[in-house]
Amino acid sequence: MTDAMRRITRRSLGALLAGTAVWLGVRPAFARTPAQRLLSLLREQPLALGALCVKALPGEDADKLTAALMRGCGTDGSSRSAIAANIRDDFAQGRIVDADGWQLSLTEARLCALAALSSRMA
């Protein structure tokens, strides 16, 4: 575990990742169509989307991602509403990441990337 990873509490990492789930949402399973297969990346395989985000954010490792996300979340980094506000602000200010065509806010792209990197480390 790196220094930056150690610095964040389990609670705050959990909150960050929960933030990802805020917009990923959970749905009952319905029949699949081609468009849905495309969307399954976003809906059911956040880690696959996370991998795309890692690619779209070259040079940002877990340390940097965590630090950037923590900075954006105020003091304890645990606030879901802070994440939601950051996402809205990203869109308003044009801080957009293109992850294989998905136009994501920088904050959510970082969350997804962090989720993917954390799962690799686990």
Partner 1 sequence: MFVDARKLPDGTVLETEVCIVGGGAAGITMAREFVQSGFRVALLESGGLEAEAETQDLYDGTSIGRPYQDLTAIRLRWFGGTTNHWEGWCAVMDNLDFESRDGVRYSGWPFPRKHLEPWYRRAQTVCQLGPFGYGPDEWGITPARIPAPFNGPHFICQVLQKSPPTRFGEVYRESLRKAPRLTVYLNANALRFVTGRQGGDVQRLDAGALPHGRFTVKAKIYVLATGAVENTRLLLSSGAEGGNGLGNDNDLVGRFFAVHVEYVGGVIAPADPYIDFQMLNGDSADTFKRDVPREFVSYFALSEATRARERLPGMRIRMHQDVGKVAGLEALKRLQAHQDVMKDLGILMRDLGGVASYGWHRMTRGKGVPVNAITMRCTSEQMPDPDSRITLGKDVDALGLRKVAVDWRLSAADKRGAVFNNRLLAREVGRSGLGRMKTLVSDNDNDWPSDMHGDEHTMGTTRMHRDPKQGVVDADCRVHGTSNLYVAGSSVFPTTGTANPTLTIVALALRLADHIKERLA
Binding site for partner 1 (CB under 8 A): 23, 25, 27-31, 33, 35-36, 38-39, 42-43, 88, 91-92, 94, 96, 98, 100-105
8 Å CB contact between 64 and 117 = no
Between 2 and 40, name the residue whose CB sits nearer to partner 1: 40
Query: How deeply is 61 buried, as exposed, middle or buried, from its count of CB atoms within 10 A (0-12, 13-18, 19+)?
Result: middle
Task: Please give the radius of gyration of the chain, using alpha carbons only, rounded to the nearest integer.
Answer: 14
- Residue 91 beta carbon to partner 1: minimum distance, rounded to whole angstroms: 4
Between 32 and 71, name the residue whose CB sits nearer to partner 1: 32
8 Å CB contact between 102 and 93 = no
- Residue 106 beta carbon to partner 1: minimum distance, rounded to whole angstroms: 11
- Residue 43 beta carbon to partner 1: minimum distance, rounded to whole angstroms: 7
Outline where the chain has alpha helix (H): 3-7, 10-24, 34-43, 46-56, 62-72, 80-93, 106-121
- Residue 84 beta carbon to partner 1: minimum distance, rounded to whole angstroms: 10
Between 7 and 91, name the residue whose CB sits nearer to partner 1: 91
Between 8 and 108, name the residue whose CB sits nearer to partner 1: 108
From the centroid of its chain, how far is CA 23? 10
